[in-house]
Amino acid sequence: MKFHVEDCFRRHSWRVYGYTDIDGARRFHQANGQIITVDEHSHQEIEPLFEIDYHSAPELLTALQKAGVRPVELSKVEGVLEAQTAHLKDLQSILRKQGYMN
């Protein structure tokens, strides 16, 4: 499932939509458990999976992180950092063997 977040400025909240893309159609998951299939010709009203106010969102993120959920972008950055660190250690080892480092 993928998510789309829409800013609802007037209500000081975000609306969160959950969906999957299958065979050229987008299927939205509704809070009541129903799934609404939408294609380019559909004009259906889609309700958000849930809505969260600006002040509660950080609390939700903190709870998700405590449960072990990691943002994809953060995980990618950490993976790159780990690879770069390993590469630098290898370079240091080569430079020590060649006498360039103590």
- pLDDT for the residue numbered 49: 93
Q: Where are the domains of the chain?
A: 2-56, 70-102
Instruction: For 45-62, write each residue's pLDDT tens digit.
Output: 889 999 999 999 889 888
- Cβ contacts of 78 within 8 Å, gap of 6 or more: none
Tell whether the model's pLDDT for residue 71 goes beyond 80.
no
- pLDDT for the residue numbered 29: 93
Tell whether the model's pLDDT for residue 13 goes beyond 90.
yes
- pLDDT for the residue numbered 78: 64
Tell whether the model's pLDDT for residue 27 goes beyond 80.
yes
Q: How many CB atoms lie within 10 A of CB 70?
A: 10
